[in-house]
Structure 1
Amino acid sequence: MTTVNVRIEEKTKKAASKALRNIGLDLSAGIKIFLHQVVTEKGLPFKPTKRSPKEIRARWDAQVAEALRSGRGYDNVEELIRDLEKGAK
């Protein structure tokens, strides 16, 4: 394991921590998942866009709802990361 330090606005950190906490993750786990997806996708795991935050949130909510309806559940973050790593190979 290694450590990554990132400078980010306090407001953004708090908002991200809250959003991740709402889905049972801490900030560290959220960042790990993001980085694993960068490896899996060989780039950003999303397409940068100029859409409004409201539009982005509506799309995200729809994707999460669909994933919850049809996706696999995980008992912990480690299981999720293992699945993400399998997809990267």
Structure 2
Amino acid sequence: MNTTVNVRLEKKMKAKASKALSELGLDMSTAVKMFLYQVVAEQGIPFVPTKNPAAIRARWDAQVADALKGHGYKTADELHRALLKKTK
């Protein structure tokens, strides 16, 4: 049985990705399928994310600040659960 996956992204990003994939002889659907098959095969993302550590830290700090805004948490576990909800 087949299913459908919908992805939301900016028009410019879709156009740039479609162009790059077309130059490789791929369409968007095939590229996404290839990616997902690799995720399953490797049990994770099939590449190393290249974001620099400073950007990762800045995003984390912003998420923590947002989670703490107007809230009090009794335990670190409560804060952690709140952060996980914010990143979904």
- Residue 49 of structure 1: CA displacement? 1.3
Q: Deviations over 1:25-81 (max 9, x none)?
A: 101101110111111110100011136xxxxxxxxxxxxxxxxxxxxxxxxxxxxxx
Bigger RCO (CA 8 Å, 6+ sep):
1
Percent of counterpart pairs with the same letter?
61
**For 1:3 and 1:30, how far apart are their aligned partners in 2?**
14
Q: Which has the larger radius of gyration?
A: 2
What letter matches 1:17 in structure 2? S
Aligned pair count?
51
What's 1:43 paired with?
A: 44
- What is the TM-score normalised by the length of structure 1? 0.54
Q: Do residues 13 (structure 1) and 27 (structure 2) align?
A: no
Q: Give me the TM-score of the superposition, normalised by structure 2.
A: 0.55
The alignment partner of 1:43 has SS state of coil
Give the letter for the 1:35 counterpart.
L
Q: Residue in 2 aligned with 1:30? A: 31
Give the C-alpha shift of residue 16 in structure 1.
0.7
Structure 1 residue ranges, 4+ long, deviating more than 2 angstroms after superposition: none
Give the Cα–Cα distance (whole angstroms) in 1 for the partners of residues 28 and 47 of structure 2.
19
2:50 maps to a residue whose letter is: T
Unmatched 5+ stretches in structure 1: 52-89
Q: Which segments of 5 or more consecutive residues in structure 2 lack a partner in the other structure?
A: 53-88
